[in-house]
Each structure stands twice: as structure tokens, then as C-alpha cells.
Amino acid sequence: MTDLKGGVEYTPTPLDRDARVYVAGHRGLVGSAIVRKLQAEGFTDIVGRTSAELDLKNRDAVFAFIAETKPRYVVLAAAKVGGILANSTFPVEFLSDNLRIQINVMDAALAQETERLLFLGSSCIYPKFAPQPIKEDTLLTGHLEETNDAYAIAKIAGILGVQSVRREYGLPWISAMPTNLYGPNDNFSPKGSHVLPALIRRYDEAKASGSTSVTNWGTGSPRREFLHVDDMADACLHLLEHYDGPAQVNVGTGSDVTIKEIAETVAEVVGYTGDTEWDTTKPDGTPQKLLDVSKLTAAGWSSKIGLAEGVASTVDWFRAHAEIVRT
């Protein structure tokens, strides 16, 4: 086991493809993409449990599971997530559930001296009016966006958890903060989804029903960066094999579009030709969230899936799985 406190410098190397990897949240948007990536890269011992099989909020159950399986690597992708409506309506659950999930998994992994752990957060950790593009060192320099501050605080606590393990125990754990993600296994629920899957479902249903008008929240002017989840999974493995440091790493494309522009892209992809209206009584959220990805680029990784291509493949997935997507 590498001991940074003892003065031994950790140098990231290719992960052992035969070692056991636990992906927490393996059926979610991010977790399922990571499992697909690991399988494609030849990993032979990937473990995961559904929430029905293992409640990550149950500390005793998590400790027992980690002690039994003894994973060499852990990817902590499990989280309670949602869009503006869900975050602003249920802040208690978003704070409490995520804190417990993170603390339980990290403490259990620490008890087993898990060699490598990757904690996944969100770009919402940064101040609402952070200078754009957002650098990693702007963390905790300003007020958070009010509609998702509870979730953001939980994720910030997760980053500190990783940093604390590094300082106290010398384990080379790391954190990654992705931008807005989308792709297969996303949440397309009208009440719980993020903006892009919500738009895909809204426009696709409008086309199917012959509706002449679609109404979206806000003004359409906020700018957002979107990253396909398969790109995110590729970045995760790259970081595990090439990056070691206490600071979280931004993961994104380095470019953004307005909500109006992404709505137009979705409408074109699904074949919707009606009108789009904007309900300006609803909140816009943060005016812009564009990540500075220079740290990730310096580590040798950049995104490969273009937005139009990614939206098209996600629409295809949504239509093929219409009966099983979350409602």
C-alpha cells in the first residue's frame, strides 16, 4: 500500500484489469456508463448492487458489503440527483441522503484500505457567479445557486472527504467534477430530470401527440455545457490511470450553448416543427456554467462525442426504451 505520509510518491499506472472494482450506483446514468467502459477495457471483476440489494444510507450494511467484497478500486457514482424542481423541493433529502451515501462508502473503503477511489461530484459545487470558465480553485469563494445548494454542499463535503483521507492516511484517492451529463440510462421523469433529458422527452412527446406548442422553463438565455456520459466514463478511467492530486478535476467539453440553442437542437433531432414558448415566471438557475478543463487537458484527455451526435444517440436510446425509462 502506498504511504504518502511516509514520503513515498504515488505515480498513477494502468489499473489491474483482473482486480475487483466496485461501482457504487452501477445502474445510474454515470455508473452504468463506467461499467460499460470498464467492460470494454477488459476488466473482469466488476461488482455492483442495486439500491434494493444494498441501501448505501445503511452504514452497517455498507461496511459489511465492502468487508466481504474487498474491492481494490472503488468508483463512487451513487447519488440522489435531480433537476431544479427536485432540488428546490426536497433539499433535506438531497443533503441528508448524499452525505450518508458518501460517508458510508468512503469510511467502509478506508477501513479496507481501498487502494484507489474516485469520487464523482457535480459542477454545481462552484459559486453561482464564478468567473467563466470555472477553475477548480474557485471552490468556496462565493455563494452557491440557491435552487441546489443542499446538493452542492453534500458534494463539497465529498471532496473534503477525499482530501482528508489523502492527508491523514496517504491513500491516493481523487475527485472528478463533471459538467451537465446526458445519455443512456438518464432520468427522463418530468419532475426529476435535468434539462437535456427533460427537453428530449418534452419535444418527443409533443411530436408524437401532434402538439403545436412546447413550453420550457425560464428565458432560454442561461448557458450550459453538456457532456455525453460515455465521454465522462472514458475520462474517469483516464484520471484513475493518469492523475493523482488532492484538487478535484473538472470534466467537460470546454464549450457551452444557451438553453434556447440546445432546445432547438433537440427539436430538430426529434423532428418537432411546432412553436417553442418560454415561461419566464420560472427560474433560470445559474446564468452560466462552463468549466475550465485545462487541468484535464493537461492530464491528456479531451471529449470526443459532439453535442448533435450525442443528442441523436440519446433520442434513439430514449425511444428504444420508452417503456422502461423512469417516469
Q: Confirm or deny that 27 is annotated as ligand binding.
A: yes
Bridge partner list, 175: 119
Q: Confirm or deny that 42 is annotated as ligand binding.
A: no
Q: Confirm or deny that 121 is annotated as ligand binding.
A: yes
Q: Confirm or deny that 143 is annotated as ligand binding.
A: no
Q: Confirm or deny that 82 is annotated as ligand binding.
A: no
Q: Confirm or deny that 31 is annotated as ligand binding.
A: yes
Q: Confirm or deny that 123 is annotated as ligand binding.
A: yes
Cell 469520487, located at residue: 119
Q: Confirm or deny that 29 is annotated as ligand binding.
A: yes
Q: Confirm or deny that 32 is annotated as ligand binding.
A: no
Tell me whether residue 126 is one of the annotated catalytic residues.
no
Neighbour count for residue 158 (Cβ, 10 Å):
26
Q: Confirm or deny that 209 is annotated as ligand binding.
A: no
Residue 94 φ then ψ, to 5°: -65, -35
Q: Which of 22, 73, 126, 151 is catalytic?
A: 151
Query: Which cell numbers hold the place of 230?
Result: 460515455
Q: Confirm or deny that 26 is annotated as ligand binding.
A: yes
List, as one string, the DSSP characters of 5-41.
TTTPPP------TTSEEEEETTTSHHHHHHHHHHHHT
Q: Confirm or deny that 76 is annotated as ligand binding.
A: no
List, as one string, the DSSP characters of 103-167.
HHHHHHHHHTT-SEEEEE--GGGS-TTPPSSBPGGGTTSSPPPGGGHHHHHHHHHHHHHHHHHHH
Pairwise CA distance, residues 185 & 120, whole Å: 17
Distances (CA, A) of 206 to 83, 146, 281, 314, 320: 21, 31, 22, 17, 17
Pairwise CA distance, residues 192 & 92, whole Å: 15
Binding residues: 25-31, 120-123, 155, 178-181, 194, 202, 217, 224, 284
Binding residues for NADP(+): 25-31, 120-123, 155, 178-181, 194
Active-site residue list: 151
Binding residues for substrate: 202, 217, 224, 284
